[in-house]
Amino acid sequence: MAAKSILIVDDDHQVRKMLGRALTGKDYQVVEACNGIEALKVFQQLERQLNLIIMDIIMPEKEGIETIREIRQKNNDVKILAISGGSPRLGAHISLKLAQTIGANHILEKPFAITDLLRTVEELA
């Protein structure tokens, strides 16, 4: 059975690396993007191979909400896990609920335990 592929989208390099290590340790293939613009490029190239997208909501250049909206216009099947620690305008809870409303399959508020992430990924991927 082929490894499942996950796109991690977060502007924080350390978060991407931490999530990537945890997921590759569980035999997932991981691709990274640092913002929504990069995520859409990767999505366009790998759309059929991706099992899950882990999307930070607050990022420079193109935020997660916009990116989720654009992905959902093209594909309703790929699973999306929205993650966020909040925004200056909205609290994390409100940002994540908005993400869920526009198409995220599940949400996790930062900081979260890696065990919670892995359990959620296993359910979605």
Look up residue 3 and give its DSSP letter: P
DSSP string, 19-43: HHHHHHTTT-EEEEESSHHHHHHHH
Q: For residue range 49-79, what is the model confidence (pLDDT) as tens digits?
A: 999 999 999 999 999 999 999 999 999 999 9
Whether 88 has a pLDDT exceeding 80, the answer reads no
Domain edges within the chain: 5-124
What CATH class is the domain 5-124? alpha beta
Q: For residue range 4-37, what is the model confidence (pLDDT) as tens digits?
A: 999 999 999 999 999 999 999 999 999 999 999 9
Note the pTM of the prediction, 2 decimals: 0.94
